[in-house]
Amino acid sequence: MKFHRELPNKTQLVQPKILYFGTPVILLSTLNEDGTTNITPMSSAWALGKRIILGLGENGHGLDNLQRFGECVINIPNPTLWSQVEALAPFTGSNPVPKQKMGVFQYEKDKFKAAGLTAVHSTQILPDRIAECPLQIEAKVIHIRMTGEEVSFGIIEVESVAIHAHEEIILDEYHIDPTRWSPIIYNFRHYFGLGDELGKTFRA
């Protein structure tokens, strides 16, 4: 016999059209065929030690670029940059615009100019960094795996080779100051900053 008791929260089965439950926004720099840098706004990313996993749709120029040339910069903007992130949202670096993106996205070659961002050379790799982003992680591709049925995605594993941080958010060479650094959270397609600190883990 099952034991029934009053649950603290009632649930319903739902089928959200999007499942972006809140991850940091990233501006991914990749190398175009002509040696210029493309910027892809994205949020499907997480870190495991020096490895970072990125998720990119198959119709994006960012994935095309990474498949051809396996280097990127994971630029992480703070909340003051949200409108510049959004200025990049309607664009793709793919020309012609892929069929699946027609009518919604437009081709833009110079994403730095389109969003008023500043390109700065990387130290270990070819794609440029974005000067305005407080964290800029230069990385090399280790592995790309394609997944998905109706829509296909690339799951890209990269390894960081150099990490640049604005001086204002550095505690020391080995620590970022979490009270001065804050990402933008992409929360079901809306941008949020962080709220107040709740506490810290025992290892902090």
Binding site for ligand FMN (CB under 6 A): 25, 38, 40-44, 55-57, 60-62, 85, 89, 92-94, 105, 186
C-alpha dihedral sign at 143, 153, 26, 119? positive
Bridge partners, 45 (sequence order): 54
Question: Measuring CA to CA, how many Å separate 122 from each of 56, 162, 196?
Answer: 22, 9, 33
Q: How far is the CB of 18 from ligand FMN (least distance, A)?
A: 10
Token pair belonging to 114: 């389109």
Query: What is the β-pairing status of strands 106-107 and 91-92?
Result: parallel
Q: Which of 154, 165 has the CB closer to ligand FMN?
A: 154
What is the chain's percent helix, strand, coil content, to nearest 5? 15, 40, 50
Q: Residue 109 — φ and ψ, nearest 5°?
A: -80, -45
Q: How far is the CB of 52 from ligand FMN (least distance, A)?
A: 13
Q: How far is the CB of 106 from ligand FMN (least distance, A)?
A: 9
Rg (CA), the chain: 19
Cis peptide before 96 (omega within 30 of 0): yes
**Exposed (0-12), middle (13-18) or buried (19+): which is 204, by Cβ within 10 Å?**
exposed
